[in-house]
Amino acid sequence: MKAAALYAAAGSLLLTTLAAAPAGGAPGTPGAPGTAELHGTAKAVARARAAGIDFGRCTAADLPQAPAGTRCGTVSVPLDYAHPDGKRIKLTVSRIPATHKDPHNSKRKVPRQGALVYNPGGPGASGMYFPLIGTVREWKRIAAAYDLVGYAPRGVGRSAPLSCEDPKQFFKGPSASPAHPSESYKRQRVAQAKAYARGCAQRAGGALRFYNSLNNARDLDVLRAALGENRLTFMGASYGTYLGALYAAMFPSHVRRMVLDSAVNPDPQKIWYRSNLDQSAAFEERWADFRDWIARHDDVYRLGATPAKVQRGYDTARERLAAKAAGGKVGPGQLQNAFLTAGYYDDFWPSRAAALSAYLHGDPGPLVRLAAPSPETAAEAENGKAVYTAVECNDAPWPTDWRVWDRDNTRLARVAPFETWDNAWLNLPCAYWPAPRQQPLDVRTGPGELPPVMVLAAERDAAAPYQGALEMTRRLAGSVLVTERDAGTHGIGGGPNACVNGHLEAYLLTGRLPARHASCAPRPEPVASGGPAGKGVRREALKGKGRVR
């Protein structure tokens, strides 16, 4: 993602579906901050500091094709912090040491400032690729001063992996994606959600309840200690900003510097059901931005000179794919997934527009290459969805009455049809979740309790609507917001915006923050390329995947 921008250069990201707290569903409080968990965390931290991390060569299972200098290891954390001497699980960690090389002055040796730990979001995304970002030009000054550290959170990858269904059955294509589903289709999806929740319980057993954000924050403190850091320098993107906010509220004296990029709304009333509704509404606005851009480049894509005509072309493609899947694999669901990623990253706009244009003009090849399920990534994708679902379902109460979901999403889909129902189906297992729920932590810090935090946000971010960044800034006293105006890419730190990167570098390298909230002009719009013949459509194998599950 790119920070969500990072992974365009360095790996893959399963981005957030933001969600929130509802009416309906009696919450439990397992795992909520308490004396037992507090003592358990202190014990695990002391144990980790004594043990450290035995970094060695990365295996293909740890980090495929890891470059020279990358080192991998593990850190042990309790499955249940209330019982720190009980079952322990191992989290995989990757690191590239600080280079000490000033990219602007080869004679200057840059002093090391410690470890910079990164979480890319999800929940369910692995940060193991993060250290590789140090080779990218925009990151070389930061890589000179910091050991770049990534890790796979609990449940992800080789970190006590979680699974809810057979990965061989994960990609079911072609699939439907009705913007206004029938009653029979809704009943089908309810049945699927119930089956998925049962599968999570059957495969994880009693451990299922311990995959949650509070434990993720505790794990982060154990990782800090294992790295030998007295205070944590942390950067989180998307869901990683909520993790960072929890850490800041739970361990404020353990924070050195913290960057929260594409901040989610930490209001307990938004975790997680209501944030999903907010997100679906925001994706409609971003879809409108994309259609407007396509219409302005009708000379390239021939999809219509108005957003309404572009929408008709998209609807035509959905209808055709419902009648006959492209390449036998791409139906309306796969089309929707491919275009959803354009809501995350505007640098995906040219390839998606070109593929749609090619399909409507008789060439399905580019769309098939772009949107067809990839069996070789099924295990990773299934694992990511399982962790995403478990964490969000465990984190907070959800409506348990289907009629509440039906009412809320039917109303929203009348004005925001692009993503509303697909977002609802993704999260519907939480209505039937078999594990106890928590009450979300009321994230807030008072003046002087926490070092100043930098919050980054794009004004038209759909995956993390801008209101969330404003709320995050209000709740973390002394934090400063850097806004990319009139832009919507999810994850802006370390991307192509020099203004944003200047603030990011100044903060991480010197601790300097803008005196007041800062505003940066938007990055340039994508350059239209490709057309009806499908030219310019790229394989996006190393791009951030977006939330496609």
Residue 180 class from Cβ within 10 Å (0-12 exposed, 13-18 middle, 19+ buried)?
Answer: exposed
C-alpha–C-alpha distance, residues 273 and 408, integer Å: 10
Residue with tokens 């957030």: 16
Specify whether 490 is catalytic. yes
Q: How many CB atoms lie within 10 A of CB 68?
A: 6
Q: Which two tokens stand for residue 364?
A: 């399905």
Evaluate whether 189 touches 219 at the Cβ level (below 8 Å): no
The amino acid at residue 317 is A
Q: Going by C-beta distance under 8 Å and a sequence separation of 6 or more, which residues neighbour residue 79?
A: 86, 87, 88, 89, 160, 207, 210
Largest CA distance in the chain: 70
- Kindly give, in sequence order, each residue whose CB lies less than 8 Å from that of residue 176, ignoring residues fewer than 6 positions away: 185, 322, 331, 332, 333
Q: Centre a 10 Å sphere on the Cβ of residue 515 and count the other Cβ atoms it contains.
A: 7
Strand 114-119 to 232-237 pairing: parallel
Q: Could you say which of 254, 297, 490, 503 is catalytic?
A: 490
Answer yes or no: 184 catalytic: no
Structure-token pair, residue 506 = 């100044």
Residue 19 sits at the vertex; the CA angle it makes with 17 and 22, to the nearest 5 degrees, is 160
Residue 529 is among the residues annotated as catalytic for this protein: no
Residue in this structure with the two tokens 């250069």, named with its chain if needed: 9
Q: For the residues of 410-440, what is the DSSP string, one character each?
A: HHHHHH-TTTHHHHHHHHGGGGG--SPPPPP
Q: Residue written as tokens 């993107």? A: 237
Q: Catalytic: which of 12, 238, 275, 357?
A: 238
Helix, strand or coil, per DSSP, at residue 217: helix
CA distance 435 to 200: 10
Q: Two tokens at 159?
A: 């970190």
DSSP code string of 184-201: HHHHHHHHHHHHHHHHHH
Joined tokens for residue 245: 């906010």
H or E stretch at 151: strand 146-151
> Do 234 and 114 touch, CB atoms closer than 8 A?
no
Single out the catalytic residue among 177, 461, 479, 503: 461
Beta carbons of 92 and 128 less than 8 angstroms apart: yes
Which tokens in the block code for residue 160? 């006590």
Q: What is the DSSP letter of 75?
A: E
Picking from 347, 321, 324, the residue whose alpha carbon sits closest to that of residue 336 is: 321
Buried b (16+ CB within 10 A) or exposed e, 278-314: bbbbbbbebbbbbbebbbebbebbebbeebeebbebb
CA distance 256 to 258: 7
d(CA 481, CA 470): 8
Phi, psi of 445 (to 5 degrees): -130, 150
Catalytic residues, by residue number, are: 238, 461, 490
